[in-house]
Chains A and B, each alone.
Chain A
Amino acid sequence: MASTSDDIIKNSNGLGYTASSAAHPETLIKPPAAPSKGQDTIEVRLEFGGGLHLLFSSQPRHTINLPRFVPDSDASPPQPVNMRYLVKWMKGNLLSEREEMFGDGDGVRPGILVLINDADWELEGELEYELRDRDEVVFISTLHGG
């Protein structure tokens, strides 16, 4: 087993950006299109790595509010919002440029890794994962140079 004494550094984000390269790394933005925080909403934290923040107003961290259930849906019982909803919402509300660099069909482009609460989303059901309040979702592009 790898021992923690191997760790040489512990003070970086491991996401390939520096504070100086990001527009406002600590700013939390709540786009006007998002519903206001309340009983029927959940808060989701998003972070972008591998240069992806450049597609999101150069901000690596965003905190957003989503409705708890998919709106305008006749489904009964109401359907909780999932990753498919989040990706679509991001394309409509958060993405500032070059949609084709992020989205592919309903999902994200191959080569973008997604972690939900630090777990590979491939273990969490990918687009079908149902979001909960305070979930943290990290998107990391692997498409840029090494």
Chain B
Amino acid sequence: MPPTPCSLCHTARALVKRPKTGQPVCKDCFFEVFETEVHNTIIEGDGIFARGESVAIGASGGKDSTVLAHVLSVLNKRYDYGLDLYLLSIDEGITGYRDDSLETVKQNQVEYGLPLKILSYNDLYGWTMDKIVEQVGRRNNCTFCGVFRRQALDRGAAQLGVDHIVTGHNADDIAETVLMNIMRGDIARLGRCTAVTTQSEDTIKRSKPFKYAYEKEIVMYAYFKKLTYFSTECIYSPDAYRGHARVFLKDLEAIRPSAIVDIIHSGEQFVLEQNVQKGMKAMQTCLRCGYISSNDLCKACALLEGLESGLDRSALRQTQDNSSAAPTGHRTIPKFERYSSGTSTPQDKALAQPTEGIERAVQAIEIR
């Protein structure tokens, strides 16, 4: 086959076939369009960043967050966003899995000159994932890890004093999530999983600048830029449900590459009606740790209580005995410190109407 010329500059040899458009592009034009599309996602509408904002990049050492740290550093300079960027990593305490990727993040810290904060499950919850798996087994441990990571990121951001977390979720991830939420009937999450930025009243803002970036292009970018990342698979039960959605999506992409962005667009078209939204739970703060929650106890506190009691099953069922104080002798999560005014009192608790609703049903489905 003769070399294909770049469809943009018409001079250099094309090295990438863009999955979104099918265009063959050369290396330089590829960098240019990839970075520009991320920039466009960032400035779309009112833009996801405010000038002078402090932003933490959720950094795992994997390809997505590494490319995100690189691209954001480049764009922040090129377009003068005026952002203070930080790297924020979570150490789940999984021997032989996180060690290498945390080393990678430490190297990224040097390469990009960004301050790095590492927060561990062990420091925050008194449990490593290794210990959790020892107690609850491999079947449900992803639930613990997911809940704990989300809260750990927010707490790390609060400690850094940043207002905004960006994550490396890419177009493939979001399309997968749309499919999973449809299959689970989780309309609450379906409604918000395609948003570039999410923020409920009391949480730290989260954004996904790679919403429209295909995984293939992220991997190609990392390869052509020779970025330092670490690719590994969690040694504890990979998320099986997501795995099925992922394989299905990759099969679709092989037939029609635009399927990924098409699914994201479909997800965006789902809008919850007002009366359905009213039926869902109002947000409050956790009576024990002060973190945002739809129940008296946030999921992390409920899971931790289960672990401390040795009741792994009940932790998953989220039975709550409505006591704001942890049982004697149990380890607890430190108070969430960002919003001291939001700390609940017993009066607040009496006022909070526990609403049975879709969210609870959804939790039951999700957790199984």
Contacts and interface: CB of A to CB of B under 8 A. Distances in A.
Contact of A18 (B17, B65, B230): B230
Interface in A80-126: 109-111, 113, 115, 118-120, 122-125
B53 to A, nearest CB: 21
B147 to A, nearest CB: 17
Given A15-B223, A119-B14, A140-B223, A110 B253 contact: yes
B70 A8 contact: yes
B230 A21 contact: yes
Contact of B250 (A2, A15, A110, A146): A110
B231 interface: yes
* A interface, size bucket: 35 or more
Interface string A7-46: 1111111111110110000000000000000000000000
B226 A14 contact: yes
A49 B216 CA distance: 13
B62 interface: yes
Contact of B225 (A7, A20, A142): A7
B367 interface: no
Given A1-B32, A120-B220, A143-B246, A50 B231 contact: yes
Contacts of A146: 60, 62-65, 168, 170, 173, 215, 218
A1 B219 CA distance: 20
Contact of B1 (A1, A118, A124): A124
Given A12-B227, A110-B254, A142-B219, A129 B233 contact: no
A125 B2 CA distance: 10
Interface string B1-41: 10110000000011111000000100011011001000000
B224 interface: yes
B151 interface: no
A6 interface: yes
A58 to B, nearest CB: 12
Nearest to A50: B231
B24 A123 contact: yes
B114 to A, nearest CB: 10
A1 B192 CA distance: 35
Contacts of B202: none
Interface string B189-232: 00000000000000000000000000110111011111111111
For the complex of A and B, 4 pairs with smallest distance between CB atoms: A146-B64, A16-B231, A110-B250, A2-B31
Interface of B: 1, 3-4, 13-17, 24, 28-29, 31-32, 35, 60, 62-65, 70, 73-74, 78, 100, 103-104, 111-112, 168, 170, 172-173, 215-216, 218-220, 222-234, 246-247, 250-251, 253-254
Interface of A: 1-2, 6-18, 20-21, 49-51, 109-111, 113, 115, 118-120, 122-125, 129, 138, 140-146
